[in-house]
C-alpha cells in the first residue's frame, strides 16, 4: 500500500498486492516449500496449490486447465506466444499482423521474428487509438499465420474490439493472440467467446505479486517452447514453478472474477469525476483516447500549450503526495522522446511528448479524487505557458467528441 499521506494513482504501472492475495501466498513463503515435481508429501502439497491456482485462472478466462502455462511475467508470456508459434511454423512462409501501438513486449519480439525471416504488418489506429477491423481484413494474406492485437493499451487505456478481431481471425483460420496484461481482471475476457487462441496476463497488474504471469495456449495451437529443461508446465515452459507467485496469481484471479463488476463501477465513477473536474479546472486539458471505450480506471490527459511541461507536472504532484505517470512505466527511460502510441494516433512530435496518466484501482476512493482536484490547480499554475505552433482539431469519433493534435 502507498506510504502514509500518499495517494497512488499509477495502477497501470503496477497494483498494490491485495492483502487477501498476500495471505494466500504466506504459507508458501514460510512453510510449504516443497518442489511441485517431488513425489513426497511436501511436493504434493505444492503441486495441489499450483493446480488449484490453475483452476482459478481458468475460471476467470474461460479456458481449460491444460491450456494454462505459468510464466515469469507478462513480457515472457508475450514473447512465448509469438516466438513459440513462429518457431513451430517456421518451415513455411510466415506473415504476422500486429498493431503500431502494442507494448514493447510484443513489438520487440515482432522485430525478432522479422529478423528470423517472418514478415510483419503493423496496423494503424484512428485518432481514438482503436484498430479498425476493416484494416485487419485488408492486411490478411494467404501466408498470415498469427494476429497479435492487445486487449487494452497500457498508455491510453483504450479497449480494442477483441471479439470482432478474434472472429475475423477464426473465419480466416488464423491464430489470434491478445496481450491482456492491462485488461485481465478489469474487463470481462473469455477466450472461447472472443475467439482468442493465445492470451497473456500478469499478476502484478491485478493485485498479485510481481514476477509471475501466464500464457493461455488453446488446445491444438502449434507451439514450440522457448525454455527447455525438465518438462514442467506440460513441456511448454521448463523450470521449477514459482509456487508462492502462482498461488498469488490464482488468488488475484479469483478475487477479480468475483469483484470485477463492483470494482469497475466504482472506478468509472471516480474516473468520470476526475475527468470532469480536471477539464473544469484546466480548460486546456483534453482527454486522449476514446472517452468511454477505455479501462474503467484509466485516464490520459494532454494539456494544450504546456505539453513540454508534463514531467514537471508529474514531479510537482509527487511532491504533493500523488503517484501518477506520463505514460508507460516500461518506457520511462525514454520520457523525453515522443510517445510512439500518441504518434500512431496522429499527434505531432511536440504534442506526443507530454501527457499525464492517472490510473485508478481497487483501493482508490472518491475522497482521494476530491483531494486531487483540490491540489491540482497548484500543479498547473506555475507551469510555463507555451504557445504551441501546432493547431488543434475537433473531431467526432463513435458519437463522442475529443481533441487531438495533428500535423500543422
Contact 140, 129 (CB under 8 A): no
Query: Positive or negative, the Cα torsion across 83, 89, 93, 95?
Result: negative
Coil, strand or helix: which one is 169? helix
CA distance linking residue 254 with residue 402, whole number of Å:
36
DSSP code, position 19: H
Contact 234, 69 (CB under 8 A): yes
Judge residue 325's burial from the number of C-beta atoms within 10 Å of its C-beta, 0-12 exposed, 13-18 middle, 19 or more buried: buried
CA distance linking residue 174 with residue 166, whole number of Å:
9
CA distance linking residue 207 with residue 362, whole number of Å:
8
The answer to whether residue 330 is catalytic is: yes
Judge residue 226's burial from the number of C-beta atoms within 10 Å of its C-beta, 0-12 exposed, 13-18 middle, 19 or more buried: middle
Diameter over CA atoms, the chain? 71
Helices (H) and strands (E) in the chain, counts: 11, 14
CA distance linking residue 246 with residue 327, whole number of Å:
28
Angle, CA 293 vertex, CA 289 and CA 299 arms, to 5°: 50
How far from 232 is each of 35, 36, 100, 201, 287, CA to CA, in Å? 11, 9, 34, 19, 45
User: Of residues 63, 110, 116, 330, which has the active-site annotation?
Assistant: 330
Name the phi and psi angles at 308, rounded to 5: -70, -5
Judge residue 319's burial from the number of C-beta atoms within 10 Å of its C-beta, 0-12 exposed, 13-18 middle, 19 or more buried: exposed
Contact 204, 14 (CB under 8 A): yes
Contact 139, 168 (CB under 8 A): no
Q: Which three cell numbers stand for residue 385?
A: 505557458
Buried b (16+ CB within 10 A) or exposed e, 184-220: bbbbbbebeebbbbbbbbbbbbbbbbbbbbbbbbbee
Catalytic positions are 330
Amino acid at each position: 500500500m502507498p506510504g502514509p499521506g500518499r495517494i497512488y494513482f499509477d495502477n497501470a504501472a503496477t497494483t498494490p498486492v491485495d492483502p487477501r492475495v498476500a495471505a494466500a501466498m504466506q504459507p508458501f513463503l514460510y512453510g510449504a516449500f516443497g518442489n511441485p515435481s517431488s513425489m513426497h508429501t511436501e511436493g504434493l502439497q505444492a503441486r495441489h496449490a499450483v493446480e488449484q491456482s490453475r483452476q482459478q485462472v481458468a475460471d476467470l478466462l474461460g479456458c481449460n486447465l491444460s491450456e494454462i502455462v505459468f510464466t515469469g511475467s507478462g513480457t515472457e508470456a508475450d514473447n512465448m506466444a509469438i516466438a513459440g508459434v513462429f518457431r513451430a511454423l517456421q518451415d513455411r512462409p510466415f506473415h504476422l499482423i500486429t498493431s503500431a501501438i502494442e507494448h514493447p513486449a510484443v513489438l520487440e519480439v515482432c522485430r525478432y521474428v522479422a529478423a528470423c525471416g517472418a514478415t510483419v504488418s503493423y496496423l494503424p489506429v484512428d485518432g481514438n487509438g482503436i484498430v479498425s477491423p476493416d484494416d485487419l481484413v485488408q492486411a490478411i494474406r494467404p501466408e498470415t499465420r498469427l494476429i497479435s492485437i492487445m486487449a487494452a493499451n497500457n498508455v491510453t487505456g483504450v479497449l480494442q474490439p477483441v471479439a470482432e478481431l478474434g472472429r475475423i481471425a477464426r473465419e480466416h483460420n488464423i491464430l489470434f493472440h491478445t496481450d491482456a496484461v492491462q485488461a485481465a481482471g478489469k474487463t470481462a475476457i473469455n477466450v472461447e467467446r472472443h475467439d482468442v487462441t493465445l492470451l497473456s496476463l500478469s499478476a502484478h497488474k491485478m493485485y498479485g505479486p510481481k514476477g509471475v504471469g501466464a500464457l493461455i495456449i488453446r488446445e491444438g495451437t502449434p507451439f514450440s517452447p522457448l525454455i527447455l529443461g525438465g518438462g514442467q508446465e506440460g513441456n511448454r515452459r521448463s523450470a521449477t514453478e514459482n509456487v508462492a507467485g502462482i498461488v498469488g496469481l490464482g488468488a488475484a484471479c479469483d478475487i477479480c472474477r468475483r469483484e470485477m463488476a463492483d470494482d469497475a463501477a466504482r472506478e468509472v465513477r471516480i474516473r468520470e469525476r476526475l475527468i470532469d473536474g480536471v477539464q473544469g479546472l484546466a480548460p486546456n486539458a483534453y482527454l486522449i483516447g476514446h472517452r468511454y471505450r477505455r479501462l474503467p480506471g484509466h485516464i490520459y490527459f494532454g494539456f494544450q500549450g504546456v505539453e513540454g511541461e508534463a514531467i514537471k507536472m508529474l514531479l510537482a504532484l509527487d511532491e504533493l503526495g500523488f503517484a501518477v505517470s506520463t505514460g508507460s512505466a516500461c518506457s520511462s527511460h525514454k520520457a523525453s522522446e515522443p510517445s510512439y502510441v500518441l504518434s500512431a494516433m496522429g499527434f505531432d512530435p511536440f504534442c506526443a511528448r507530454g501527457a499525464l496518466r492517472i490510473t485508478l484501482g481497487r483501493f482508490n476512493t472518491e475522497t482521494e479524487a476530491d483531494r486531487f482536484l483540490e491540489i491540482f490547480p497548484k500543479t498547473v499554475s506555475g507551469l510555463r505557458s507555451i504557445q504551441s505552433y501546432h493547431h488543434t482539431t475537433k473531431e467526432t469519433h463513435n458519437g463522442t467528441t475529443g481533441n487531438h493534435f495533428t500535423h500543422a
